[in-house]
Amino acid sequence: MKTKEIRTKKINELKTLLEDTSKEFFKTKMQVVTGQLMTHRQLRELRKRIAVIKTVIREKEINDERS
């Protein structure tokens, strides 16, 4: 999912997406630790996606406070 698509979602949807992405990150991390998955690239991409989602949530919260 691209950043533009993430920015169009509402805060509730973003929080749900954050939960799902965090669960996916944990599962992927466990696969790397147990040796089922050899590349770390997916972990990096998931970490970046989580950071973008958290940033957008915070931006929307700040904009709502100002309104």
Per-domain boundaries in the chain? 3-62
User: For the chain, percent helix, then strand, then coil, each to nearest 5?
Assistant: 80, 0, 20
Q: Report pLDDT for 38.
A: 87
Distance separating alpha carbons of residues 28 and 6, to the nearest angstrom: 22
**Rama region for 35: left / alpha / beta (φ>0; ψ in -120 to 50; rest):** left
Contact (Cβ atoms closer than 8 angstroms) between residue 2 and residue 51: no
Mean pLDDT along residues 6-28: 97
Q: How confident is the model at residue 5 (pLDDT cuts 50, 70, 90)?
A: very high
CA 31/CA 23 separation, integer angstroms: 12
For the domain covering 3-62, report its CATH number. Answer: 1.10.287
Please indicate, yes or no, whether the overall pTM of this predicted structure exceeds 0.85.
yes
Phi, psi of 9 (to 5 degrees): -80, 160
